[in-house]
Amino acid sequence: MLDAAIVGMGRWGQVLANSVQGKNDAGIRFVSGCTRTPAKAEAWAAEKGIRLLPDYEAVLADPAVKAVVLATPHGQHAEQVIAAARAGKHVFVEKPFTLDRASAAAAVAACREAGVVMALGHNRRFLPAIQIMKAMLADGALGTLLHVEGQFSGPGARAYVPGMWRADRAESPLGGMGGMGIHMIDAIINLAGRFKEVTVRSHAQVSQTIDDTTAMLALLERGATVGFATLSLSPSFWRVALFGTEGILALQGHEHLTWTPREGQGWVKEFPKTDIEAAELAAFAAAVAGGPAYPLPVEDAIHGVAVFEAMIGAANSGSTYAVVA
């Protein structure tokens, strides 16, 4: 069992811990942690059997802690990952990994040098439907991939008020990208490969804090185009579709996959709900224990940040930005 600390006990930190705490088959348990406002988390931590430590330095100094799980503001991730590596702790970090490619590469290098496992929380990699889409594309069922369509939106910014870290444009550039859209960028990388260039429009039509409307047109290295949008003030919606010369795969939500071939009979498959938070933490624990490698290569983690950084540049400049390899 991997003894870990949860760093950041806001809503998402608690979701992560709740997904595995007390489950013997998870391979990981939270023994301690820290958070910016301990008073808000005292009752929950006591209920979950998690010792509250005064700060991140105390977490890293605790010999009982073998790994840290970071559910902290985006801008803190690189520094925290590097500190964990230097302390000999394995590290699971929530997305966005970092906000620029250079810091992402530095964090990965620190983990490699220390010999610790680093895992990034792009939980859609654990959806059975995504794995089927990837296999069908790789097997040639879609023919040549022509276009990818992605949409990940929700109403989260309705709750944002000035002073909240997620309402800070420095922490949430491009509106819904940090909380939602970056997941879709990773899904596209996982399914269809690396990005080559991006053009982005992002602005606030209604929101008083962050952008509520962000849209991208992109080109992948293999030649397919991408149309992507993330909206931070709409009803919740998730969709990814692959358009090929021989067929189309469209995943609506996490469980509804449709196949439309150029010829012949298509199909619709419904999948049971998957606890993707528990799955990603269990995969992290298994990788630490010497089992299968975590199914998100660190090169993909760095590339996802490079895409995000290029998107920010493209939106700010009104031009097309190349994605740094």
168 is written with which tokens?
Answer: 């800070």
Which pTM does this prediction carry? 0.95
Q: Tens digits of per-residue pLDDT, 73-106? A: 989 999 999 999 999 999 999 999 999 999 999 9
Q: Looking up tokens 């811990």, which residue turns up?
A: 17
**What pLDDT is attached to residue 169?**
86
Q: Looking up tokens 């889409």, which residue turns up?
A: 133
Query: How many Cα atoms occupy the beta-carbon half-sphere of 318 within 13 Å?
Result: 0
As a whole number, mean pLDDT of residues 24-34 equals 95
**What pLDDT is attached to residue 218?**
98
Q: 325: pLDDT confidence band, cut at 50, 70 and 90?
A: confident
- CATH number assigned to the domain covering 124-322: 3.30.360.10
Q: Tens digits of per-residue pLDDT, 97-141? A: 999 999 999 999 999 999 999 999 999 999 999 999 999 999 999
Domain boundaries, the chain: 2-122, 124-322
**What pLDDT is attached to residue 165?**
86
As a whole number, mean pLDDT of residues 173-179 equals 93
Lowest mean pLDDT among 136-150, 165-179, 238-252: 165-179
Q: Which residues pair with 286 in a beta bridge?
A: none
Tell whether omega for the bond before 96 is within 30 degrees of 0, i.e. cis.
yes
Measured between alpha carbons, how far is 266 from 161 in angstroms, rounded to an integer? 46
What percent of the chain clears pLDDT 70, i.e. is strictly above it?
A: 100
Looking at the domain 2-122, which fold is it? Rossmann fold (3.40.50)
Question: Looking at this protein, which amino acid is placed at residue 211?
Answer: D
> What does the DSSP assignment read for 70-101?
E-S-GGGHHHHHHHHHHTT-EEEEPSS--SSH
The angle that helices 38-48 and 11-20 make with each other, rounded to 10 degrees, is 10
Is residue 41 within 8 Å of residue 52, measured between CB atoms?
Answer: yes
Q: Which residues of 72-86 are buried (b: 16+ CB within 10 A; e: fewer)?
A: bbbebbbebbbbbbe
